[in-house]
Every structure is written in C-alpha cells, then in structure tokens.
C-alpha cells in the first residue's frame, strides 16, 4: 500500500513541476475567458455545472454560444436503481433541467460507459464529427490531473480527437475532484444564484453527497488570491491547446 501511495505522489509531483514554472504567480482575474463559440466536455451529467457553471452562465449572458458534450451515459450514476436504462434517463433529465436554468440550449451525448479505461474508437470519431461542425474557439474540460478515471479519460478523448482538427482552439481546464493550479480566476458572484439553482437540479446525486456545499466551498476559497475572500469564483488553467497537450507525458496516452 505504501508503495502505491509513493508512486502516486511521485507521479503527481512530477506533473505539477512541469506546469508550475509557468504558473507561479497570482492568477489573472477576468469577467470570463475569451471565446464566443464554446464547447464544454463533461465526463458526467453534472461536472459542467459543478466545475464551471457560473462561467458558462456569463458566456450565455454576453451572447456566446455554449455547447455541452457529455461523455458517459450515466448508467451507474444512481446506485439504488438496478434498471440502468432508467438511471440514464434520470441523469439526462436532470442535466437538461440544469442547462435550462443557465440558458444553454445545445447539448450532445457520446454515451461511453462509465468508469472504463478503454476508449472506444467510435466515440473518438463521434467527438471529431461534432467538433468539426462546431469549430469551437474555446473548449472547457476537467484538468488532466483530476482524481477520477472518467475525468482523465475525457482528456485522452480530446487528445486523440484533436489530431484530426484543422482549426485552432484554446482550453480552459476546470476542477471538480482535484483542485488545480490556476492561472485564471473568474468572478461568478453576480451569477451564483443561477449556479445554485442549476446544482439543485441534480437531486439523484445530492441524495448521496452534498455537492452544493462542497462546490460553493471551493468557489468561496477561489476568491482568496484576487477577491479578498468576497463573493465566489471559479478557477481555471487557461492555455492554448498545443501548450495544454504539451503538458502530457508522451507515454501517458
């Protein structure tokens, strides 16, 4: 067990060393990241709201187009329900309600099974097709050191899909399970009530874990460097896609 913990610590520290030299500064604060044609990659039905829901609302309020792409199908998202097809319907319904609260009209399903390491080639092709049609200038996704198999997998998915793209885009990596080292902070105080309403749509998840308090605690903490502890904020690692993928070890994927 100790060896496993030490191996994990070595992996994380080496990853962080690779990015910290460029990010050891007070994060820049912005109303929202630049970008008008937005894609959000969400491993599960709720990560996009928990991780960057306030920022997405600000994109909507300024007239930007926001498209959400869900990677997994939600079959294991409601453990008490044995009928996995029914569980999927519950999760999709909740996410549609949450997106409606934020004013997001465009969403897509890739329907990958949850918690599997193997990436389906058909899923990569499906994502390529969607992104080739949208041609986003900014893509949100959980950062590559998130401590969840599906959050890591969605980075792998975009990494392979991007090899087919003929357009340039930036990346805003967000945090859910694992705090990141941010270079960008977005003040979401003015839209925090909408984010709260959207989070409350996930009743099946809040039954097991009080995600609302957890996420709001993180959003409050993120005000420490730029906002003197006032209001709420979301934190991001904002880079070009080339720089972001360059942070990966060549053997990672």
Q: Is residue 78 part of a domain?
A: yes
Q: Tell whether 55 is covered by a domain.
A: yes
Residue 253 within any structural domain of the chain:
no
Q: Place 23 in a pLDDT band, splitting at 50, 70 and 90.
A: low
Whether residue 252 is contained in a domain is answered as no
Q: Could you report the per-residue pLDDT of 66-103, keeping only the tens digit for each?
A: 999 999 988 777 878 888 888 889 999 999 999 999 99
Taking only the tens place, the pLDDT of each residue in 181-193 is: 999 999 999 999 9
Residue 87 lies in a domain: yes
CATH number, residue 222: 3.40.50.10320
Instruction: Give the burial string for 95-110 (b: 16+ CB within 10 Å, else e).
Output: beebbebbebeebbbb
Domain that holds residue 88: 2-24+31-246
pLDDT value for 248? 76
pLDDT tens track for 24-61: 678 899 999 999 999 999 999 999 999 999 999 999 99
Report the pLDDT averaged over residues 201-213.
Answer: 94
User: What DSSP designation does 190 have?
Assistant: G
Q: How confident is the model at residue 64 (pLDDT cuts 50, 70, 90)?
A: very high
Give how many domains the chain has, as a whole number: 1
Q: How confident is the model at residue 14 (pLDDT cuts 50, 70, 90)?
A: confident
Residues 6+ apart with CB under 8 A from 239: 170, 171, 173, 183
Establish if 233 belongs to a structural domain.
yes
Instruction: Find, among 201, 160, 44, 38, the residue nearest to 111 by Cα.
Output: 44
Q: 238 in a domain, yes or no?
A: yes
Is 236 inside a domain boundary? yes
């Amino acid at each position: 067990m100790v060896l496993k913990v030490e191996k994990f610590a070595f992996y994380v520290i080496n990853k962080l060393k690779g990015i910290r030299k460029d990010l050891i500064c007070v994060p820049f604060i912005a109303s929202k990241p630049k970008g008008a044609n937005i894609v959000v990659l969400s491993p599960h039905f709720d990560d996009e709201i928990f991780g960057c829901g306030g920022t997405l609302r600000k994109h909507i309020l300024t007239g930007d187009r926001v498209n959400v792409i869900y990677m997994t199908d939600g079959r294991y998202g409601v453990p008490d329900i044995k009928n996995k097809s029914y569980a999927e319907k519950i999760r999709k319904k909740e996410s549609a309600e949450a997106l409606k609260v934020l004013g997001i009209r465009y969403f897509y399903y890739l329907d990958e099974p949850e918690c599997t390491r193997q990436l389906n080639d058909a899923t990569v092709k499906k994502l390529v097709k969607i992104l080739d049609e949208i041609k986003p200038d900014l893509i949100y996704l959980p950062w590559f050191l998130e401590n969840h198999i599906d959050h890591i997998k969605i980075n792998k998915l975009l990494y392979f899909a991007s090899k087919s793209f003929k357009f340039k885009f930036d990346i805003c990596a967000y945090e859910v399970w694992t705090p990141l080292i941010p270079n960008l902070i977005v003040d979401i105080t003015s839209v925090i009530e909408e984010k709260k309403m959207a989070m409350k749509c996930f009743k099946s998840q809040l039954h097991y874990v009080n995600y609302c308090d957890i996420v709001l605690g993180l959003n409050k903490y993120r005000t420490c460097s730029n906002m003197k502890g006032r209001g709420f904020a979301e934190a991001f690692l904002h880079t070009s896609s080339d720089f972001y993928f360059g942070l990966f070890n060549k053997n990672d994927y």
